[in-house]
Amino acid sequence: MFVAMASIFRFKEFSVDQTNCTMKINTDGVLLAAMCDSSEPRNILDIGTGTGVIAMMLAQQYRNAKVYALDIDESSVKQAAKNFRNSIFSNRLIPVHRDIMHYTPAQPLDLIISNPPFFINSLKNPYVSKSLARHTDWHFFECLLSFSKQYLSGKGSLQCILPTETADKLITLSEDYDLYLQKEICISSFQGSRVIRKNIAFSRKAGTGIQKECFYIYREQKVYSQAYISLLKPYFVNF
């Protein structure tokens, strides 16, 4: 999975300057945004926005939506705000420096999306900003589910990308918050290789079945699959 190390990452409809962001653009984030499946959301919340790339991809995909981009790290919020101002979607992108536990949206949310930290209960990085960006524990996920239960609209969806074990635990926990698995995309590097991430979507209504899919990033070593190219083609310049 790639991590974009260049300071400026150019997409077809916007650019991302990630100079002051602790977490750079990576495969997880762009897959989550590109795979997002929501019925014309008007109010979107991106939790842990980092560079703002997910928020901008969603602003491109949903042309009538306002996207609130929340992050606990002040330097990331300032950099995301700069990226937003320089984009054609600037009037629909709202940066927010806040912890999810202290944020109250002005209206119900049609989509809550998060590419959260995933080193569960792991040893903390001595550098505080990276620790905030890359570490979490189950308290974060409990807060995320509680927040979603309270603020999702009736048709709303919570969507996350997570390592397999973490995703499975979140699925188990979700029903305690009256949220129900809608969709599960199992992501592997190659066909036949182990699942390394799951893109999962929850709604407030229990469905009659769960939509399950498999997704492969590469066709062979260093050659992207056609599914990956098609998914990212609306965004990536080199596709």
pLDDT (tens digit, 9 = 90+) per residue, 104-154? 999 999 999 999 865 444 334 444 344 333 345 788 899 999 999 999 999
- Residues 197 and 168: beta-carbon distance below 8 Å: no
- Does 181 reside within a domain? yes
Q: How far apart are CA 199 and CA 162, in angstroms?
A: 7
Q: What are phi and psi of 110, to 5 degrees?
A: -85, -20
Residue range of the domain that includes 133: 8-232
Is 70 exceeded by the pLDDT of residue 97?
A: yes
| Distances in whole angstroms, Cα of residue 45 to Cα of each of 94, 123, 157, 167, 173 | 9, 29, 11, 20, 21
Position 19 scores a pLDDT of 87
- The domain tally of the chain equals 1
Query: Where residue 70 sits, what CATH number does that domain have?
Result: 3.40.50.150
Residue at 224 is within a domain: yes
In a domain, 237, yes or no: no
pLDDT band at 220 (very low <50, low <70, confident <90, very high): very high
Query: Is 164 a domain residue?
Result: yes
Q: Is residue 239 part of a domain?
A: no
Give the percent of the chain with pLDDT over 90: 80
Asked whether the predicted pLDDT for residue 102 surpasses 50, the reply is yes
pTM: predicted TM-score of the whole model, two decimal places: 0.90
Looking at the DSSP assignment, which residues form a beta bridge with residue 111?
44, 157
